[in-house]
Amino acid sequence: MNTETCDPAELAALREIFAPRPEASPPAGWEAVRLFEAEHGIMLPEPYRTFVAEVCDGLRAGPPFYGLLPFAQTPPDWGSDRPERLLSEPFPLSSTWMWENDEEDEEARSEQELEARMDAVFDHGSLLLGTDGCGMYWHLVVTGPQRGHVWLIDEYGAMPFGTAPSTSPMPGTPGFTGWATHWAQGRPWFAGPPGDDPEEAA
């Protein structure tokens, strides 16, 4: 995954998905993107960076269910009493972590340590793309080894979109373009029984 240079083919695919939609928000422009990056000490990963600057900065139709957020916003249900979001701090995970079922982690860490680690998953190194409701938030990782990947994070745990079926219940093409294309094709986020996904069969 190339997160430093915008692939023209990926940008064209995103433009085809979003630009024709009348409810799509206008692009934010390069000045707004660079000001946001300077404020947070980051650089947004490509092709998302060029997408919000030149193509579209939000879409009420999705993805996700309650719409693709403008790049500098959080969803209305995020809450005002949450910890400060630190986009320049590396996103702490590299694989799925379901903390509701992680008995080994619970035994090894104090409650305070677990809460601090969970807070970092929600608030470090990622940009909020939107929500599917019920506390299910989609994040684009902007800092750390998972930079450019999209993750679903909720009260039960965190998992990446776009990995092999054997390593995640959300197989597909990783990255923002893969995530958006998956949605545009009307495909479910979670894998069904083997053979149900045409992308796996291809």
What are the pLDDT digits (tens) for 63-98? Answer: 999 999 999 999 998 988 888 899 999 999 999 999
Q: Is 84 exposed, middle or buried (CB count within 10 Å of its CB: 0-12, 13-18, 19+)? A: exposed
**Which of 189-202 are b and which e, b meaning 16 or more Cβ less than 10 Å from the residue's Cβ?**
bebeeeeebeeeee
pLDDT at residue 196 is higher than 70: no
User: What pairs with residue 133 in β-bridges?
Assistant: 136
Q: How far apart, in whole angstroms, are the C-alpha atoms of residue 117 and residue 83?
A: 12
The DSSP secondary-structure symbol of 77 reads: G
Q: Quick count: other Cβ atoms within 10 Å of Cβ 1? A: 17
Report, as an integer, the average pLDDT of 49-67: 97
What residue type is 173 in one-letter code?
T
Of 24-28, 137-141, 166-170, the least confident: 166-170
pLDDT value, residue 61: 95
pLDDT for the residue numbered 3: 96
Q: Is the pLDDT of residue 190 over 70?
A: yes
For residues 2-26, give the mean pLDDT. Answer: 96
* Rounded distance between C-alpha atoms, residue 57 and residue 48, angstroms: 10
Tokens of 116: 């601090």
More confident residue, 102 or 142: 142
Q: In this structure, what DSSP letter does residue 174 have?
A: -
pTM higher than 0.85, yes or no?
Answer: yes
Residues 56 and 24: their CA atoms lie apart, in Å, by: 6
3 state DSSP class of 73: coil
DSSP notation for 38-58: HHHT--PPTTHHHHHHHT-S-
